[in-house]
Copies of this chain bind each other. A is one copy, B any other.
Amino acid sequence: METPQNLAELLNADGFKSIPKSFIREILKVTAHSDIISFAGGLPNPAFFPVQEIQAAAMKALEKDGRRLLQYGESEGYRPLREYIAARYKQKHNLEVDPDVILITNGSQQGLDLVSKVFLNKGDRVLMERPAYLGAIQAFSAYNADIRTINLLDDGPDIERLTEILDKQKVKLFYGIPNFQNPTGISYSIEKRKQVAEIMNRFPSLFIEDDPYGDIRFSGENLPPIKSYLNEQTILLGSFSKTISPGMRMGWVVASKEIMQKLLIAKQLTDLHSNNLSQRVIYQYLMDNDFDNHINKINETYKRQCDLMVEAIMEYFPHDVKVTQPQGGMFLWLTLKESQNTMELFKIAIKEKVAFVPGNSFYPKNDCHNTMRLNFSNSDEIKIKQGIKILGNILKRNSS
């Protein structure tokens, strides 16, 4: 039985008219159970999921405090976990964060939804990097934001353009991923971080600093978050998805006290509070294990996989293809000749059992056709070589 037309017409919330299903998640479905070499997803390497440690942590957490854990919890999140996160900012970045202004969310994606909910009215202007994280484009679009983009250069956003836009237009939020951006792998240099902070500081506008990959640095030195320079004017998002487990959906938001009060209301009416079981299990895991040692192991492997993929690209791809050189994260970004269309290449590649994400999805207006994103975290070294070779041949065949 179909929904009658007059009912289907009710499905007309403004923000939803223009949002397509995530193409990436659709690709994931195609590639999940098949013999395809997939560089498409944004999946961490499951070899590093600490299954046994999580099992032990689950046992312990349920033993120690089972009834409390299975009951409703506080909307803010489990206090000891928030204290751990605060202490880690202090230790890693010498950043003072009060646990009171940390809200535990279902992955950092929910942080974007909650921030949108409390800030955005229809038509409010939001700045994003170009290209930008697809999940954020979708989240802001659902709240009818007017999205503008700023080119992402090799060392961060185009500062001249940022100044120009802020000078001319009222901008509510500027969203960026300063560490190993999705989709490009690009990081902001320390100078760019300072410049962004300095410029933002002159305008009544907030910087949304999304940092899901910060811990996944495999070369170069840790750089301070922009929040270090732009404290109360920054909303900082973090996540355990890339270090412990994405399936447990655990992220957080750090904001000022005033913003946190509103985010908390948004959290209450969205889903009351985050999953207690996962919060307690992750906390117990962090207490009983050497987290940094675990992260180092991930990073050693990711570095090898990243290096290998870059080398293979150098070897097999046409020489006019431009590739980023990330110091961490999970992605490479390729820019082909203007005349290329990666959506067309995708259709060919999928027939030859290799998948990637055509870059077009990462532009809010879908107006760039010659880029692609490659994920290196979730393929072993043999598949990386094989897959890149196949892609290289397709590119060469189609570049004349």
| Interface residues in chain A, defined as those with a beta carbon under 8 Å from any beta carbon in chain B | 1-4, 6-16, 19-22, 25, 28-29, 41-44, 46-47, 49, 51-52, 54-55, 58-59, 62-63, 66-75, 105-107, 109-110, 113, 117-122, 135, 138-139, 141-143, 172, 204-206, 231-233, 241, 244-249, 256-259, 261-262, 264-266, 268-278, 281
In the bound assembly, the distance between CA atoms of A265 and B23 in angstroms comes to 11
7 closest cross-chain pairs (CB), A and B: A247-B276, A51-B66, A70-B245, A138-B269, A106-B271, A6-B204, A49-B70
B119 contacts A11, CB within 8 Å? yes
A110 contacts B271, CB within 8 Å? yes
Please, could you name 25 A-B residue pairs with CB atoms under 8 Å apart, sorted by A? Answer: A1-B232, A2-B257, A3-B232, A3-B258, A6-B204, A10-B205, A13-B118, A16-B118, A25-B268, A44-B71, A46-B68, A49-B70, A51-B62, A51-B70, A55-B58, A70-B244, A71-B247, A72-B247, A105-B271, A106-B275, A113-B270, A247-B276, A249-B274, A249-B276, A275-B277
B247 contacts A70, CB within 8 Å? yes
| Contact A71:B43 (CB < 8 A) given known A10-B206, A138-B269 | yes
| Closest chain B CB from A98 CB (angstroms) | 10
In the bound assembly, the distance between CA atoms of A3 and B142 in angstroms comes to 27
A1 contacts B231, CB within 8 Å? yes
| Contact A16:B204 (CB < 8 A) given known A70-B248, A271-B110 | no
Residue of B nearest to A5 (CB): B204
Please name all residues of chain B whose beta carbon is closer than 8 Å to the beta carbon of A122 when the two chains form the complex. Answer: 122
| Contact A271:B72 (CB < 8 A) given known A58-B58, A62-B55, A63-B55 | no
In the bound assembly, the distance between CA atoms of A73 and B68 in angstroms comes to 27
| Contact A71:B246 (CB < 8 A) given known A206-B10, A259-B11, A277-B277 | yes
Most buried by B among A54, A75, A231, A277: A277
Which residue of B75, B113, B257 contacts A25 across the interface (Cβ within 8 Å)? B75
B258 contacts A275, CB within 8 Å? no
Which residue of B11, B22, B47, B247 contacts A69 across the interface (Cβ within 8 Å)? B247
Please name all residues of chain B whose beta carbon is closer than 8 Å to the beta carbon of A266 when the two chains form the complex. Answer: 16, 142
A67 contacts B55, CB within 8 Å? no
Most buried by B among A249, A257, A270: A270
In the bound assembly, the distance between CA atoms of A14 and B14 in angstroms comes to 15
